[in-house]
Copies of this chain bind each other. A is one copy, B any other.
Amino acid sequence: MQTSVVIMAGGKGERFWPKSRLNMPKQFLSLTGDGKTMLQLTAERALELADIDKIFIVTNRMYKDLVLSQLPDLPPDNVLCEPYARNTAPCAAFAASIAEKKIGESVMTVMPSDHLVKDTQRFTDIMKNAASAALPGVNIVTVGIVPEYPETGYGYINFEKDALFNGCHKVIRFVEKPDAASAEEYIRDGRYLWNSGIFVWKTSLILDKFRELMPDVYGRCVRIGEAYGSDAFDGILAREFEAMPSESIDYGIMEKTENILTIPADFGWNDVGSWLALEKVNKCDGHNNMIQGNCVGIDISNCTIVGSDRLIAAVGLRNVVIVDTDDALLICDKNHTQDVKKIVSELKKNNKKQYL
């Protein structure tokens, strides 16, 4: 059975403003200091799981050229352009429909474009085990990250203790972002994993699930798939996509389905959810400062500084994130990194489009 990979690259990455902008969102940025963008790193991991012509990037059409410039070996047709952002459920159904049309049935891995993985060999091994568990076409396999601490910002996956095969366990339930006490309980319990948003399924199985659980989305994606390759495609794609509900695959499919397995994963995962992630994925100095660019620090600790040529002088700071770009500068207390989105909202409200 052939394998395919779908990389979801349509996000806006607003929590990474001011580096992440409307015309250059987070997944197209290099945040790790190795010069490779998150999309490029994700594509490298995907290439261990599928051939390049079976790797699909789903994104907004405004990013098609950006994707192809960052992944020059990718067949241009493999960039699947969403005319509207409708969250992960329509995205997955769309990708599965087009992939079936183009390459026929496959064991498909779906993953976000903006996560980081430290141990890529371990990632490959685990994902191959997940694919083998998905191959019979009976189970969807979701990747669960072995939790490192009681994070309250992630959803959790509760699983049965004994593995069924290839390290995969039956999922008992998906749990929404917990409060602190519940998160600690989950860690103690040991049968909870972080929900990574990485899935493996046989395309025939996931399309069956859509037909059963989201028949409207299914019907529209069938019509999109039928039009693929014809002159009518763009018009049908736009019309059908606009009409689809904005829904996550977790809520629309996973939480309503039996036959879901999870594979506990410990490959050094980071979802790079806010500027706080940078101190975990990059090298810090002896005072836990993560510093990029031209910087002079006097008595600073626990600071994350992302600069460039312009000199940044930081004095006496603790727990501060500083991100400097040509036209905009962010200075944010580390306890408020989720509020960076509020800056973006404020800029929209005040019609300061040049900074979006």
Residues of chain A touching chain B, judged by Cβ–Cβ distance below 8 Å, are: 17-18, 296, 298-299, 310-318, 320, 322, 324, 327-333, 335-337, 339-340, 342-343, 346-347, 350, 352, 355
Contact of A327 with B311 in the complex, beta carbons under 8 Å: yes
Cross-chain contact of A313 among B311, B314, B317, B329 (Cβ < 8 A)? B329
**Cα-based distance from A315 to B296 in the complex (angstroms):** 22
On chain B, the residues within 8 Å of A346 by CB distance are: 296, 298
Given contacts A316-B335, A335-B316, A336-B316, contact A329 B347 (CB under 8 A): no
Measured CB to CB, the nearest residue on chain B to A345 is B298
**Cα-based distance from A95 to B3 in the complex (angstroms):** 87
**Cα-based distance from A315 to B337 in the complex (angstroms):** 8
Among A296, A310, A318, A324, chain B packs the most CB atoms within 10 A around the CB of A296
Measured CB to CB, the nearest residue on chain B to A346 is B296
Q: How many copies does the complex hold?
A: 2
Given contacts A298-B346, A329-B324, contact A339 B315 (CB under 8 A): yes
Query: Within the complex, what minimum Cβ distance (angstroms) separates A297 from chain B?
Result: 9
**Cα-based distance from A18 to B18 in the complex (angstroms):** 23
Besides the known contacts A299-B339, A314-B331, A315-B331, 16 further A-B residue pairs in the complex with CB atoms under 8 A apart: A17-B313, A296-B347, A298-B336, A310-B328, A310-B329, A311-B327, A311-B355, A312-B329, A313-B329, A313-B330, A313-B331, A313-B340, A315-B339, A315-B340, A316-B335, A317-B332
Contact of A339 with B298 in the complex, beta carbons under 8 Å: yes
Contact of A331 with B343 in the complex, beta carbons under 8 Å: no
On chain B, the residues within 8 Å of A296 by CB distance are: 343, 346-347, 350
